[in-house]
Structure 1
Amino acid sequence: MTPRKPYPSDLSDARWKLVEPVLAAWRSERRARALDIGRPPEHDLRDILNAILYVDRTGIPWRYLPHEYPPWATVYGYFAKWQRDGVFEQLSGLLRRRVRAADGRATEPTACVIDAQSVKTAPTVPAASQGVDAAKKIVGRKRSIITDTLGLLLAVLVPAASMQYSIAGTQLLNRAAAAHPTISKAWVDGGYRQHLIEHAATLGIDMEIVHRDPTTKGFALLPRRWCVERTFGWLMLHRRLVRDYEALPARSEAMIHLAMIDNMTRRLTNESTPTWRGT
């Protein structure tokens, strides 16, 4: 059978080697618990992940997957299982540590940056998981993220857009402090309130608000905060994240982890990231 021509979103051999051990271990563990262990897997894990990355990168509905990939229902089934089993978070964490080591940093961060982005939702998203961000005039969801100083994702939370920045920040900070006890410094913008700073102090984290100069007009690069703003820029290269299409907030978080997995595998293999702009 003639191999198909790869899409720009497909994993190269070098990128596949970075993620294959985690997915292979997941399949082996699942097969060990299965009753019909004699039946070989029908679909290749690399093809499955390529199809999921294609959806994340292009923004198409699952049913519109090209026929060269496995059936869309199978692909979505794997996506849902990997999300529930924490595979995307595991991959994101492993790759983040490798990127930090390659950059000459300690594998665990000592500082972080917190920010949030409100995005509109698709008509298929349940109304119960949406809200109104009055300041941004957006009906949808809010993506709250914590990154290290390289802009690499440490934690993500996708609540309704109506959730206050500080409430989402508190939940994120609790996650980050539990997973990364080495963190002792954090930066946020002026939208976060004093009680978050006080809560950070109880976790042993010195939180600093980076204020924007009120006399400055137009775009201004803010110290420390620019790295998390750049992370949002990386995410926006994935069309599935331009709007929130996922019925479940947990699936939205998985799509964000996928975008970062895509980014970090390219970074580790020195491969360029093709954009959709102008195509």
Structure 2
Amino acid sequence: MSERCAYPSDLSDAGWELAGPVLAAWRAERRRRALASGRPPEHELREIMNAILYVDRTGVRWRCPPHDFPPWETVYGYFAKWQKEGVFAQFNGLLRELVRQQEGRTARPSACVIDAQSVKTSTGVPAAGQGLDAGKEIVGRKRSIVTDTLGLLLAVLVTAAGVQDSDAGRALVEHIAAEHPTVRKTWGDGGYRQYLVAHAATLGIDMEIVQRTPGTRGFTPIPKRWAVERTYGRLMLHRRLARDHEALPARSEAMIHLAMTDLMARRLTNESAISWRDPVKPHQSQIPG
């Protein structure tokens, strides 16, 4: 890695030991498929990944990272290629299995939790990709995710906010049945209709609706569902996810995969996730300019 002041969002050496082989294998395969080898890559994969993590963590525009990173066109180009070729999803799956094994679980889950979150969009998101969540009165997009019972991401789908939870849930349940055949149980909230419960049953998945106890006020962890709600909270540590800034829903899904892999890598290497509110002396790069 080139000599520069490290940013809090950078991969540590231990984190790079996890990410490096995946990205190196991607680059080697891509060069193998090329008709001509061409000139050697100009920028290190670690620096490109650090630049992408910087955008995800801090929420800056793609055109506005610090100048000691590779050019933003290069960084965004790699991000787009990795999203399109499923590198972030692949890395997420690898780290999820490692975390589960570290926690004494089997590599593949047998149960999961599903939930949806509507968020506002930035001005750069095409109007055609947005919608109105009438229940929450939010104009923007909806993120529907499935996690295991540890809160680790299994699947994500980004749609317009006007899409019903059950419609997005149907696609996710079908994905889980195909990609995670060991899953036999799932929990969701009251936003998921009875027809989705019946559809899940046809796929061999028992779906149970868990709702808040009537009369409960304030924040109360809901059994089983708390895992996915906690995951949404942890994802919000990545400022790029405070709103949806991506022009394409698939790029929004990649940002969620990226945030989750960052959280899992830190968990595996015993590093603290950046909360931006930690009562510690700020790093020089964290001081507002």
Deviation at 1:215, TM superposition (A): 1.2
Deviation at 1:129, TM superposition (A): 0.6
Instruction: Structure 2: state its 5+ residue gaps.
Output: 279-285
Matching residue's letter, 2:100 = R
- Aligned twin of 2:74: 74
- Aligned twin of 1:202: 202
1:17-41 Cα distance to aligned partner (Å, 9 max, x none): 0011110010001111223315111
Matching residue's letter, 1:216 = T
Matching residue's letter, 2:29 = E
- Aligned twin of 2:46: 46
- Aligned twin of 2:3: 3
After superposition, where does 1:123-138 map in structure 2 within 5 Å?
123-138=123-138
1:98-146 Cα distance to aligned partner (Å, 9 max, x none): 0000000000000000000000000110011100000000000000000
For 1:245 and 1:2, the matched residues in 2 are separated by: 29
1:194-246 Cα distance to aligned partner (Å, 9 max, x none): 00100010011111111111111111110000000000011100000000000
Matching residue's letter, 1:178 = A
SS of equivalent residue, structure 1 residue 186: strand
- Aligned twin of 1:58: 58
- Aligned twin of 1:270: 270
With normalisation by structure 1, the TM-score equals 0.98
For 2:59 and 2:211, the matched residues in 1 are separated by: 35
For 2:211 and 2:33, the matched residues in 1 are separated by: 53
RMSD: 1.2
Matching residue's letter, 1:235 = L
- Aligned twin of 1:187: 187
- Aligned twin of 1:167: 167
Matching residue's letter, 1:37 = S
SS of equivalent residue, structure 1 residue 158: strand
Instruction: Structure 1: state its 5+ residue gaps.
Output: none
- Aligned twin of 2:219: 219
- Aligned twin of 2:261: 261
Matching residue's letter, 1:80 = A
SS of equivalent residue, structure 2 residue 63: helix
Deviation at 1:191, TM superposition (A): 1.1
Matching residue's letter, 2:228 = V
- Aligned twin of 1:90: 90
Count of paired positions: 279
After superposition, where does 1:15-30 map in structure 2 within 5 Å?
15-30=15-30
Of the structure 1 ranges 227-236 and 28-37, higher mean CA displacement relative to structure 2 is found in 28-37
- Aligned twin of 1:249: 249
- Aligned twin of 2:283: none
Of the structure 1 ranges 53-62 and 37-46, higher mean CA displacement relative to structure 2 is found in 37-46
- Aligned twin of 2:281: none
For 2:275 and 2:4, the matched residues in 1 are separated by: 22
For 1:183 and 1:36, the matched residues in 2 are separated by: 44
Q: Identity over the aligned pairs, expressed in percent?
A: 70
For 1:158 and 1:98, the matched residues in 2 are separated by: 26
